[in-house]
Structure 1
C-alpha cells in the first residue's frame, strides 16, 4: 500500500506541474515566432512589398511585349426579328454604349456618377483609340514613305531563325509618345536652348485635386478622384492662365522662348 500511495503522490505532483510546463512551452513558442517575424521583416527589402494597393485610380495594362499582333475587340449582337448575328468592333460608335450599358441608359446619362467605372471607361476608350491609330499606321506604311528608313527596318539575321524574322513597322514622328516623337521634341528643345543660350527661369506648377474650382463642381457624395475629367480641365485652364501672365502680362519681363512639359505621377 505504501508503494501505491507514493505513486499516486508522484502523479499528483506531475499533474500540478503540467500547466506550468505548458505555459513555459507557449512562451517559448511565442518567443520563437516573434524572432522569426523580426528576422523576416529585417531580411526583406520592403515591408510593404506584398501589401494590397491603396490607390483609388484605375490604369490599363496591355498584355504582351508588342511582338504579337493583338486582335481587335468586338461585340456580337443578336438582331431582333431574325436569327442573324452582327459583329461590331471597338471602333463602332455603338461599341462603348453596348459594352458599358450602365453608363448609357435610355433616360439619362450616369457616366459622370459612375466612380471607378467611369475611370475604366476612360482608359478603355483610350486603349481602343491608341490601338486603332497603331493599326492605321501598320496598314498605311506606304503613305509615310517608310522605304526611306531602310536602315531602321533591316534586322540582323544572326542567331535568328527564318520564322523569327518579321516585318518591322515605322511609326511617324507625329505619333504622340513614340520614340521618334520624343526624340523630335527633345531635339527641338535643345535647338532652342542652343540658340537662346541657357534658360533663366525653371518654373514648376503642381496640380491640386482639392482646388476650389474642382471641389465646388463635384456632384453629391463625390471625391476629386471620381472626376479625372474635371481635374484635367481645371489644370489646363490654370496652365493657360499662367502662360498668359508670362507672355502677355510679362511678370518675368520680355519672353524670348519657352519649353514646357506635362508629367503625370505614376
Structure 2
C-alpha cells in the first residue's frame, strides 16, 4: 500500500490519497518527479497532518523534518525524534480510565472543568513544590495562554509532617490528617472556587491505586500512626538498577525506603525526609522521579523521568560518537512526539504541558551548567585573572567568604558573553560585509512586499511606492506607502491602532526603557 501525497484538481490544499494515512513506507517505484511534486505541494500549501512514521521509533513526523532536507527520499529518516535511532525509551502506557475520560472527553461539565483547571488539579496532588514564582498577570488580556516563570526554577520537598499549627502541603497531604484530606487539598491552592470536589475525590482514589509514590507515602502514614514506629524517615531513591531503555515503571521498593532510626548510606541525589523538621530540600534535576513528583497527572503510575545512566542505542546506520549516554534534550525530544500505541497523556495536558515544557528547558540548562562547572579547565578560564582573584584591602580583617567562581563562555545561550558576542558579530558584519547585510535585507524586503501586495494581509492593494534608506551604522530600512482599495481602508484612528501602534514609553513608569528609546530609536532631539 502506498501513500503518496497528491494535489487535488479542485482544491488548493494538499490531500493524501490513501486508505491508511498513517502508512509511512512507500513503494520503491515512486519516481523522483513524484517526490519533487510532493515537496512542491507541501511547501506551497498547508502542511497537513504529520503522517510520515519514523522507521526507528515510530514518531509521526512531517516530510520536511526528514534528516537530509535537501535530498528526496521515498523512505525518509528523521533526527528530531530519536536522533536517527540512537534514543530508545519505553512508551508511555495508557492512563487509568478516569484520567482518560477527563483528558479526552468533551461532553460533560466535569471534563471541561478538569481541562480548564488541569494545572490546579495537578498542584493539589504534587509531591513537591515548585521553587519558582508563577506570573499570573500576563494572562489578564486576550490571546493564547502564556506561562511565565520568575526566579530560580527548582523543585523542593519538605518533611513528612507539618510543624505544629501549620497546614499540610504537597507530600504531607498524603500522610497528615487524612480524615480531612479532600478539604485540605482544596484549601492548599489559592484559587479553588472553580474546583470540583467530586473530581478531587476520584483523582485521590485513582492515584492511591496506581501511583507508586502515593503508595510509599501511604505506607509512611501507616507507620507514623503506629505508636511503635515514631522515628520514621523516608529515603527517596534517585538511581535505578534496571535498564532505562526498557523499564520506566519502578516498584515501591525501587523509588523509596522507609527507615527507622539513622540511615547508613545514601546517594548524593537521594532525599531523606525527616519526620517533622520544617526544612525544605531541593531535589536534584537528575533524580529519576524529579518529574513524576511534580506532575502526577502526566505520570499517573509514577513513571521515571530522565535518568543520567541511560545509554544510547547504536545501530548500523547511526554515527558512533564520544557521547554514549542519553541527555535531557534527547529525552525531551523523544517524549514530545506522537506515536501509534503510546498514550497522549503528556501531549493533551493543555496548560500543564506548557509548564512541563518550561521545566524541561530549565533541566537542559542545569545539565549544561553542570558540564561547564566540571570542565572549567577545558574552557581555559585561567586567563580571567581579574575574575579568579579577589582583591584584598588593608581595611579587611578576619576570614572572608570566597566561593568558587564559574565562568560562562560565549557559547552558553543567555550569558553576558553570549549577548556581547552577538552584538560584536552584528557590528562586524555591518562594518566589514555591507554586501551581506544588503542582500539579506533585500530578501526579507521582497517577502514583506509579497505579504502586502500579493497575499493582501492588510487588504487589497491598488498601488504602492517605497524608498530604502541606510542609517549611519550602515543598516538599511524602508519607508513604504500603500494605497488600499476602498473596501479595505481603515477609516478611523481606532481601526489603524488595531494593526499598528507605536508609543514612546512613559519616563515616570519605564524610565530605563524611555532612555533607551530616546538614545537609539529617535531621529532628532526630544525633551
Which bin holds the TM-score, normalised by the shorter protein?
A: 0.3 to 0.5
Q: Which has the larger radius of gyration?
A: 1
Compute the TM-score of the two structures, normalised by the length of structure 1.
Answer: 0.45
The structure with the largest strand share of the pair is 2
Compute the TM-score of the two structures, normalised by the length of structure 2.
Answer: 0.24
The structure with the largest helix share of the pair is 1
